[in-house]
Amino acid sequence: MKTRRLGRTDLHLTTVGLGTWAIGGPGWKFGWGPQDDALSVRTIHEAVDLGVNWIDTAAVYGLGHCEEVLGRALRELKGRRPLISTKCERCWEPDGTVVPRLKRASVLKEIDDSLRRLGVDVIDLYQIHWPQPDEDIEEGWTAVADLVKAGKVRHAGVSNFSVAQLRRIQPIRPVDFLQPPYSMLARGFEQDLMPYCEANGIGVIAYSPMQKGLLTGKVTREWAAALPADDHRRADPQFSEPLLSKNIALNEGLKRLAKGLGTSVAELAIAWVLRQPAVTSAIVGARRPGQIGGTVGGSGLELTPKTLSEIETLLKARG
C-alpha cells in the first residue's frame, strides 16, 4: 500500500488508515448501533494483514470501550503493532454525558487512561479532538506539548481546528498534523485550511471521506430507514429529506462512473480525497471483516482529469 510522509515528521503513513468510531459500539450519544467485539478484533487484524500501518481511535468512542477493544487486538497481533492515533478533550460524566475539557489536569489524566486501555507505553499520534472550550485551547495544547517532552506522545496534532485556532497554538508548539472532515460532501477544508497546512508543513489526515457511509454506493431510502434506532446518523440531516434524495441520486451517478472504471463508489470517494497532495492519509471506517478489504483499493486509484470533471458535474447537479 502507498505511503506518504506526515508533514515534517519522520512518519510515513499508509494513505488509508483504519477508523474505529463504529467499533466503540452502542451506549453513548454518537454510537453507530450494536457491535460485536470479536468482529471488531478480526477487522483490526484484517486491516493490518492488508498492509494498513496505522489505526485511528479516540477515548470517547464507546466511552473508552473502543480503546479497550483495540488494546485487545494489539495484544493478539503479537508484535505486529501498527501506529496508533487517539484523542483527548471529549470527556464524559458518570451518566455518559459527553463534555468538552481542555484543562491541563484533564489532559494529563486522559493520556494515562488511554495508555492503560490500549496497553501501550507511548501514543504515536495524539490530538485534541475538538477545539472546545475555545478559551482553553492554549492550555490544552500546552499540556499535549508537555506530553511529547515526557515521552508519552511521539507526534501531536489537532482535529476540527480552524486556521485562526491553529495560529493561536502554533507559537506554543508547532502542530504536526491536522485531522479535518473532508469528502465530496464536505469541502470546507479546501478553502483556507489546505493552503495553511501546506505553507506550514502540517500533515493532513482526512476523516469521513465516505461521509458516514453516504459515499459508498449503497444508499437507498430502505438502507437509511433500516439504520439502528441508536445509530447517531438518524439525527444527521444528510440521512433525511430533502438531502437524502439528493444523496441517493448522487450515488447512482457515482455508481455508473465507478463501474466504468472497474472500481467501487467507496474507493472512488477515497481516491477523490487523496487526489490532494496535501492530504497524507484518509481514515476509512470498518466494523466487520471484509469491509476494509473492499475500500483499501482507493489508496492506489489514480483519477484522471476526465474522471474528476465528471465527478464535479455530478456534485454540481446535486447542489
- Positions marked catalytic: 61
| Start-to-end Cα distance in the chain | 34
C-alpha cell at 75: 495484544
Residue the block writes with cell 489536569 = 105
Amino acid at position 227, single letter: L
Alpha helix ranges (H) inside the chain: 37-49, 65-77, 104-118, 137-150, 163-169, 193-200, 221-225, 243-261, 265-274, 305-318
Task: Mark residue 181 as left, alpha or beta (left: phi above 0; alpha: psi -120 to 50; beta: remaining).
Answer: beta
Backbone angles phi, psi at 295, to 5 degrees: -125, -20
Amino acid at position 218, single letter: K
Alpha-carbon distance of 220 to 148, in angstroms, equals: 46
* Residues 6 or more apart in contact with residue 203 via CB below 8 angstroms: 5, 6, 7, 8, 9, 157, 176, 177, 178, 197, 280
Alpha-carbon distance of 9 to 56, in angstroms, equals: 17
Alpha-carbon distance of 95 to 151, in angstroms, equals: 33
* Residues 6 or more apart in contact with residue 158 via CB below 8 angstroms: 127, 128, 131, 141, 165, 166, 169, 175, 178, 179
| 78 SS3 class | coil
List, in sequence order, every residue forming a beta bridge with 285; answer none if it has no partner: 19
Distances (CA, A) of 176 to 33, 202, 204, 243, 258: 33, 5, 9, 36, 34
